[in-house]
Amino acid sequence: MIEVKGLTYRYPGTEKTALRDVSFTVSRGEIFGFLGPSGVGKSTLQKVMIGILKDYAGSVKVEGQELRETGAEYLEKIGVAFETPYFYHKFTALENLRFFSSLYRNKTLSPVDLLKQVGLSDAVHQRVSSFSKGMKTRLNVCRAFLHDPELVFLDEPTSGLDPVSTEAVKKLILEKKAEGKTILLTTHHMAIAEELCDRVALIVDGKIALIDAPRVMKLKYGRKMVRVEYRDGDRLLAREFPLSGLAQNDAFLRLLSHDGLETIHTQETTLERIFIAVTGRKLA
């Protein structure tokens, strides 16, 4: 669905190149994540793909169409939730969504149903000025899906959400993926990226350092070991065993029947550790 080749971008009047030779593809129905700390080019990449920045070098094609040649018809097909949820504060949630519905030619989804899906059914007629940050974030996600777009850009869609709301938003995103929507997620929340994304791209200094499925990355960069923690009297002890041949490992098998056994964990790594290993930078 998306094909990016050699994308380079520099903001007019600046020396620094915001994006350098970025290449990747995204398939239809995929949730693709962009991971990286602030200021590495994630937002610029999103702006290029949304079609706001068109003076880029290289090629960015969505369904075979070069983005710099697209017009308002492209905007009919995409949904965008910026990190900051901007709304008419004097309008209610429903009034805001109805207003945005009016901007699209295609039939839009029911705003009330969408609000219900993210747990905002009690706030349908509440003015946005009285919304908490989390409520605005959920409303923002609703707006991105409102016109039933094929391609959706979500920037930190769970920012400021409590665990229950986070689950509701994640469920909505996964439902949309099941419907065949393609979703591009920008985040620095490891857990969200791991749970939702089919593949993630690690971005640093305007370049993609690594692209792969979170699971594959974790296996590739993790240690194929299992760590067992157990208690011997007052002392907490730990031992590690290679995963291969674990069933025949006598020491491991003996520990399994040890009375003081407390935890057993495989030693695949986290996305955060992979990011640091690959880029030498921290995510936060």
Chain residues binding other proteins by CB under 8 A are 50-52, 72-73, 75-76, 78, 80, 82, 84, 86-91, 95, 99-100, 102-105
Rank residues 78 and 201 by Cβ distance to other proteins and give the closer one: 78
CB nearer to other proteins: pick between 95 and 198 = 95
Distance separating alpha carbons of residues 234 and 144, to the nearest angstrom: 55
**What is the SS3 assignment for 40?**
coil
What secondary structure does DSSP assign to 72-115, as a single string? HHHHHHEEEE-SS----TTSBHHHHHHHHHTT-SSPPPPHHHHH
| Chain CA centroid to CA 178, Å | 16
CA dihedral 75, 172, 166, 157 (to 10 degrees): -10
Report the nearest approach of other proteins to the CB of residue 95 (Å): 7
Of 24 and 104, which has the nearer Cβ to other proteins? Answer: 104
Q: Which is nearer to other proteins, 142 or 204 (CB)?
A: 142
CB of 153 to other proteins, least distance (A): 8
**Residue (23 or 70) nearer to other proteins, CB:** 70
Min CB(72)–other proteins separation in Å: 5
Output the 3-class SS for 154-203.
EECCCCCCCHHHHHHHHHHHHHHHHCCCEEEEEECCHHHHHHHCCEEEEE
* Cα 57 to Cα 247: distance, rounded to the nearest angstrom: 54
Nearer to other proteins, 114 or 274 (CB): 114
With tokens 């290679």, the residue in question is 242
Shortest gap between Cβ of 80 and other proteins (angstroms)? 5
CB of 181 to other proteins, least distance (A): 17
Identity of the amino acid at 247 = A
Q: How far is the CB of 109 from other proteins (least distance, A)?
A: 15
Q: What minimum distance in Å lies between the beta carbon of 20 and other proteins?
A: 22
Cβ proximity to other proteins, 100 vs 230, nearer residue: 100
Quote the CA–CA distance of 265 and 26 in Å, as a whole number.
Answer: 33
Give dist(CA 119, CA 258) in Å, integer.
Answer: 47
